[in-house]
Structure 1
Amino acid sequence: MNRRKWTGVAASVTAAALVLTACGGGDNDQAGGGLQGTDQAAQGSWAINEQPYDQVKQGGELKWPLDALPDNWNYNQLNGPLVDHDYILSALIPKLHVADKAGKIVVNPDYLESATLTSPDPQVVTYKLNPNAKWSDGTPIGWEDFDAQFKALNGTNEEFSVAGTTGYEDIEKVEKGAADNEVVVTFKKKFAEWTSLFSPLYPKSLNADPKTFNEGWIDGPKATAGPFKIETIDQTAKLVSVVPDPNWWGRKPKLDKITFRVVERAALADSLASDAIDWYKIGSSVDNFQRAKAMQGVEVREAPGKSYNHITFNGAETSILADQKLRVAVMKAMDPNVYAKGILGPIVADPKALGNHFFLQGTANYVDNSAPIKADKEAAKADLEALGWKMDGEFRKKDGKQLDIRIVSTAGNPISEQISKLTQAQLKEVGVNVIIDAQPSATFFSDFVNTGNFDMVGFGWSQTPWPISSSKGIYYLDPNSVNQNFGRIGSEEINKLLDQANAELDDAKRVELTNQADKLIWEAGHHLPLYQVPGAVAVDAKLVNFGAFGVADPDYTAMGFAA
């Protein structure tokens, strides 16, 4: 099960849940020195100064900025799926399938000899493990690791605080195959994007019981199985360093060390200029783009972005936005094009709002389904009036209560601040008072997003190569588990369509069902996609096999410096 990741006003997907990122946000600049728009950036491209492995310098330290250190090193736990966590994790923990440059899902030979759909009905997948693959304690990676992860994530035990159950809930059993390195997974219900499962894969000890799953890896990983291993985790200095693992059976890394360090968004450009870091995401930041273009020895590398910034609405009973009609009325007053042009306009020639919750612009399956929430301030005013929210001075009131909506954002993040202020200004025009509540990035997700402590909240979703299954946990309304549906908004009809889509092995039919669900998600007022974040980064020009990876998974053994 891969889940979407969240970013501090942006995030990404893996299967089972998305990855989150805070809002924020080359070799192929367009004429005029700007960035390519999402329609122009060619899918299947990257800008990493690609060089043959044997021509990369041996040694060196890559200094990598983060927004925050992981709240939990168990990526499958509710607090785990952050983009920053995935950056570190990808050097340490097995991913059985990865995406290549074109977004094609391929077997990772470091861990698998093969993964085959050996029966379509009942669905059976047989994995043949690389016999050299082992955990850092010397234990071979085996079928019991698969079995323990399936049992922890299938949703049958609610004491496991999981980020998502997608895919695992469809498995009937996991068994040892004909050989010691063979794993047989039998499904009770078809699951189309099965290659998303067991990536990442954890040792059985982590999944042994709820307490270990939820708390055992808060301070750090207890076992690894990647080209790198942990050297230091320093919570005071806010850094993590990893070094090559001498017991790694695959291709040896070129780098001597990667140091991941927390750097405030506003300090990224200065940190790169002073050599404190070796790269940063430009994302939506005009200032960081302009600073990068002016730096000596720095390149702007650009590939298609795979994250988007949005605003999630809280539909829980405790929120002012529990009423679907009120949510929709408020959304109509928030024009995504205002955000796209206001934030990206200075660096992207023709930025466009995003009209789909599942598929990104520039991909074959993208369709704009946003018609139910068409931006229209006059319609928004009429809807608010009909709901009994009458103008009383500067803002609207109903039954003596002012229409105050609290938006939570990340402090010290210029893009988050800009999004919040644009929201405040647009909603003031229709009589809604927006209260901006900026919180530290270190507690933004754990204390506010994950707990539903907001009326509106801005962050980003970063997609995985499995856009349908990885998104299910965001939109599926499960009374027993929040998963990643932080706004607690949904319906049985949406659930049914998502179930059907994830069980449909025909690609075209699966996409059709997903777009049907997307239209209902717009109507429900779940969240408002704003714009796709440019996939541009500022990079030390000496770095090779590193930069804007587009839809690909990075190869940590090949990244390094020019010889």
Structure 2
Amino acid sequence: MSHDGVGTRPGRGSVMRAAAFLTAGVLALPVLSGCSDPDPAGKPLAGQDIAPAARARIADGGTLRWAVDSVPETLNTFQSDADTTTSRIAQATLPSMYRLDESGRPERNEAYLESAKVVETEPKQVVLYKLDQQAVWSDGREIGAADFAAQWRALSGKDSAYWTARNAGYDRIQKIERGDNDLEVRVTFARSYADWQSLFSPLYPKEVMGTPDSFNDGARRKLKVSAGPFTVRKIDRKGDEIRLTRNPRWWGEPAKLNEIVLRAVPRDERAAELAAGRLDLADVDPAAARRIAIAAPRPKNPSASPSRTPLMGPDLRKLTPVQRKDKERFHGFEVRKSLEPAYTQLALNGGGDGPLADERVRRAVARALDREKIAETVLRPLGLPTEPVGSHLALSGQAAYADNSGAVGGQDTAEAQALLADAGWVPGGPVKEKKKGEKAAGSEADKTGKKEEGKEKEKGSEAKTDKKSDDGTYIVGEDNKGADEQDSRPLAQDGKQYGGKQLSGGAPGAYAPQGTAAPAAATRQLAKDGKALTLRFVVPDGEGSGTLRTVADRIGHMLKRVGIRTEITKVSDESYFKDHIASGQYDLALYSWPASAFPATDARPIYAKPVPAADGSLNVEQNYTRVGTDQVDQLFEQAVSTLDESESRSLIRKADSRIWAAAGSIPLYQRPQLTAARTNLANAGAFGFGTPVFEDMGFLKKGAAGQPAPTAS
């Protein structure tokens, strides 16, 4: 999972999503745009920042040293322990029938496919793939129907001997057969499948997919056969390194680089490795990005590309001695930035019998949030667009995107308070006094009835100061500092990513400092049946999660204005997702979801209505907010079953409106993507939505160095 990172999910590239949010209720929903209206998908908020250059300007040869988060446990993207590095290796070494363009939309990969289209819809859907006649595996064998069929059988879900992490889409296939010649593959579906372009990307050879043993173990530590611009030459687990080398049998444009070395480097060590000349390309956290940006010349016309605007940093004319040293250390590097195809959201746990099981309380939380201010806080210092995310299922620029946040409504303190009153939470109700030494309400010790020794009654319920218990719990809403003043504090940025096994540096956030008089709206505690309205806000305590902790603090003060207290509880990075999010031991939490080009397939398990399992437990799939409805489930099934693209998008947008209305989760902002790169490295950096084109990466020829890169069309 990701705390401001990505979660693991059975989705594209085996980067697995993990969370969900929905609920029932007869609610007014916004009317979807008609065909005559402008496309609500819009454009990506930030484009790629990869220093594009024509191949003629790039030198032949060289080694690209690229920082990754781990040496993966498996090279099979369809296994549960695959990670983001597994996906990166697959992109460079294996066929993908489709890849994503700069807007996050699937496009045919011409290196493998001459064409692919639905040729029949009745009585069954049939897709005909016509393969490039030069497409061969690294052992010389042609890519063909046998490889497609082996992958279908392995991932269909019919044979439990295959240890697969996902089978979505493959379980709808009825048969795969050779077409009129060896270059044609006919795929017949038992049930119509709108997201058929998601299949066979990546495609593994039949030697990997052919038997359970070869699937389970054959591709974990090596890829004997591949078919991309690069091949896996060596995996050095002791040295934390994967070496990819140019594929001599590659039939497309030859790779410019001789080698790509993927090095596992912790994020808090990457700045030092870059300065020492041991890396050429690395995703970095905001603090490191600001240091590196000092050394890079500022663009002459930053308005031409929003992603090229400089980071907010010191005046270059007034550098400190340390900053001047950084300017020397990082000479030859620059920061390339965009927005990740992922967003951070506030999850509200609607399971159990807590306050958030009531939809009115969840909607009150949503109406209390100023999402614009939260997005600005995180992204404005980085010079990135600050528009809040308006959809759970897609991001701006993707085909299914539309801003459906109107289904729950914008920030409105009066409306939030009215919803709470309607749910029975009123100010001034009798609340049992909390005694000194007790765990804060909602903590694990409180739930088990255990109490600390040395209990004494607290004093001054109207003017309390921040309390910190031994378990790392802070109460937001009991300080005396004005919320507006609190919200103006500088943001501590982070660079952490989970699920993809990314851990990095950053600065710890701050919690509810002591101050002066609190806003009147927050001075009287809301209560119901003798119990105060306090929500447990769980955050990770790692060095790289400063942004999350600061955002949690800001949210706590926004909720305080409507009478909701939050107790911010720091937990270890290792237990954050497993022991709290996945197990439902939280009220509020922050983590991120990657966007998908195929939301009807990939988002369904995240928003599926939880159902009782045979053993009496609740099967939530990946719906960790435990909020779901039959109607949303039906809309997903309809969207994935129709072959009319316009109708499918409309159904996805309707599902998203209902997810918003249920207020199980609140999308906040698209995650920043900051990449340090050598200034002479072309066609690599902050890729945004787009799939990297590995054969075009390389270092500019000496005569081309310093020349402006052509603008991507």
* Aligned residue in 1 for 2:593: 461
Amino acid paired to 1:358: L
Amino acid paired to 2:680: K
* Aligned residue in 1 for 2:26: none
Change (3 A) 1:397 1:275: closer
* Aligned residue in 1 for 2:694: 556
Change (3 A) 1:290 1:205: same
| Cα distance in 1 between the residues matched to 2:3 and 2:281 | 17
* Aligned residue in 1 for 2:403: 367
* Aligned residue in 2 for 1:439: 573
Alpha-carbon shift at residue 287 of structure 1 (Å): 2.3
| Cα distance in 1 between the residues matched to 2:442 and 2:423 | 10
Alpha-carbon shift at residue 357 of structure 1 (Å): 0.8
Residue 636 of structure 2 aligns to a residue whose secondary structure is helix
* Aligned residue in 1 for 2:341: 306
Q: 1:19 aligns with which of 15, 37, 44?
A: 15
Change (3 A) 1:561 1:503: same
* Aligned residue in 1 for 2:21: none
Alpha-carbon shift at residue 457 of structure 1 (Å): 5.3
| Cα distance in 2 between the residues matched to 1:360 and 1:51 | 27
| Cα distance in 2 between the residues matched to 1:116 and 1:462 | 27
Residue 254 of structure 1 aligns to a residue whose secondary structure is coil
* Aligned residue in 1 for 2:275: 273
Amino acid paired to 2:100: A
| Cα distance in 1 between the residues matched to 2:442 and 2:622 | 32
Change (3 A) 1:463 1:324: same
Change (3 A) 1:407 1:240: farther
Higher mean alpha-carbon deviation, 532-541 vs 116-125, is at 532-541
User: Larger relative contact order (C-alpha < 8 A, sep ≥ 6)?
Assistant: 1
Alpha-carbon shift at residue 303 of structure 1 (Å): 4.7
Alpha-carbon shift at residue 537 of structure 1 (Å): 3.1
| Cα distance in 2 between the residues matched to 1:153 and 1:452 | 28
Q: 2:685 aligns with which of 544, 547, 551?
A: 547
* Aligned residue in 2 for 1:112: 113
Change (3 A) 1:467 1:397: closer
| Cα distance in 1 between the residues matched to 2:356 and 2:139 | 50
Alpha-carbon shift at residue 124 of structure 1 (Å): 0.8
What are structure 1's unaligned runs of at least 5 residues?
Answer: 23-38
* Aligned residue in 1 for 2:630: 492
* Aligned residue in 2 for 1:352: 387
* Aligned residue in 1 for 2:97: 96
Q: Establish whether residue 241 from structure 1 lines up as the match of residue 243 from structure 2.
A: yes
Residue 510 of structure 1 aligns to a residue whose secondary structure is helix
Report 1:117-156 matches (<5 A).
117-121=118-122, 122-156=124-158
* Aligned residue in 1 for 2:507: none
* Aligned residue in 1 for 2:450: none
Residue 287 of structure 1 aligns to a residue whose secondary structure is helix
Residue 355 of structure 1 aligns to a residue whose secondary structure is coil
What are structure 2's unaligned runs of at least 5 residues?
Answer: 19-40, 296-330, 435-439, 448-530, 614-618, 702-713
| Cα distance in 2 between the residues matched to 1:509 and 1:242 | 42
* Aligned residue in 1 for 2:291: 291
Alpha-carbon shift at residue 158 of structure 1 (Å): 5.7
CA contact (8 A) 1:543 1:562 kept: yes
CA contact (8 A) 2:358 2:423 kept: no
CA contact (8 A) 1:308 1:529 kept: yes
Q: 1:339 aligns with which of 374, 378, 389?
A: 374
* Aligned residue in 1 for 2:199: 197
Change (3 A) 1:120 1:7: farther
- Equivalent residues, number: 537
Amino acid paired to 2:542: A
Change (3 A) 1:191 1:15: farther
Amino acid paired to 2:266: E
CA contact (8 A) 1:16 1:163 kept: no
Amino acid paired to 2:78: N
Q: 1:507 aligns with which of 627, 645, 667?
A: 645
CA contact (8 A) 2:610 2:627 kept: no
Alpha-carbon shift at residue 91 of structure 1 (Å): 0.7
| Cα distance in 1 between the residues matched to 2:216 and 2:357 | 30
Residue 175 of structure 1 aligns to a residue whose secondary structure is strand
CA contact (8 A) 1:6 1:83 kept: no
Amino acid paired to 2:375: A
Residue 343 of structure 1 aligns to a residue whose secondary structure is helix
* Aligned residue in 1 for 2:527: none
CA contact (8 A) 1:497 1:513 kept: yes
Residue 90 of structure 1 aligns to a residue whose secondary structure is helix
Higher mean alpha-carbon deviation, 247-256 vs 55-64, is at 247-256
CA contact (8 A) 1:13 1:462 kept: no
Q: What RMSD in Å do the two structures reach over aligned CA positions?
A: 4.1
CA contact (8 A) 2:347 2:664 kept: yes
* Aligned residue in 2 for 1:538: 676
Change (3 A) 1:553 1:312: same
CA contact (8 A) 2:43 2:396 kept: no
Residue 570 of structure 2 aligns to a residue whose secondary structure is strand
Residue 572 of structure 2 aligns to a residue whose secondary structure is strand
* Aligned residue in 2 for 1:86: 87
Amino acid paired to 1:19: V
Amino acid paired to 1:531: Y
Alpha-carbon shift at residue 216 of structure 1 (Å): 5.0
State percent identity of aligned pairs: 30
* Aligned residue in 2 for 1:471: 603
Change (3 A) 1:381 1:195: same
Amino acid paired to 1:527: S
Q: Establish whether residue 53 from structure 1 lines up as the match of residue 55 from structure 2.
A: yes
Residue 354 of structure 1 aligns to a residue whose secondary structure is coil
Change (3 A) 1:264 1:526: farther
Amino acid paired to 1:553: T
Residue 529 of structure 1 aligns to a residue whose secondary structure is strand
CA contact (8 A) 2:42 2:396 kept: no
| Cα distance in 2 between the residues matched to 1:61 and 1:196 | 32
CA contact (8 A) 1:396 1:431 kept: no
* Aligned residue in 2 for 1:29: none
Higher mean alpha-carbon deviation, 89-98 vs 546-555, is at 546-555
1:74-105 deviations in whole A, cap 9, x for unaligned?
A: 2123333x444322221112111123446564
| Cα distance in 1 between the residues matched to 2:539 and 2:421 | 27
Change (3 A) 1:68 1:281: same
Alpha-carbon shift at residue 514 of structure 1 (Å): 0.9
Report 1:379-390 matches (<5 A).
382=421, 386=425
| Cα distance in 2 between the residues matched to 1:213 and 1:452 | 30
| Cα distance in 2 between the residues matched to 1:554 and 1:200 | 14
Alpha-carbon shift at residue 467 of structure 1 (Å): 4.3
Alpha-carbon shift at residue 258 of structure 1 (Å): 1.4
| Cα distance in 1 between the residues matched to 2:176 and 2:668 | 41
* Aligned residue in 2 for 1:32: none
Residue 126 of structure 2 aligns to a residue whose secondary structure is strand
| Cα distance in 1 between the residues matched to 2:80 and 2:45 | 31
Change (3 A) 1:154 1:494: farther
Alpha-carbon shift at residue 198 of structure 1 (Å): 0.8
CA contact (8 A) 1:240 1:260 kept: yes
Alpha-carbon shift at residue 427 of structure 1 (Å): 6.4
| Cα distance in 2 between the residues matched to 1:383 and 1:434 | 26
Higher mean alpha-carbon deviation, 490-499 vs 391-400, is at 391-400
TM-score (norm 2): 0.65
Amino acid paired to 1:119: E
Residue 57 of structure 1 aligns to a residue whose secondary structure is coil
CA contact (8 A) 1:7 1:462 kept: no
| Cα distance in 1 between the residues matched to 2:426 and 2:75 | 45
| Cα distance in 2 between the residues matched to 1:498 and 1:174 | 26
| Cα distance in 1 between the residues matched to 2:442 and 2:100 | 51
| Cα distance in 2 between the residues matched to 1:275 and 1:495 | 52
Change (3 A) 1:555 1:125: same
Alpha-carbon shift at residue 304 of structure 1 (Å): 5.6
* Aligned residue in 1 for 2:523: none
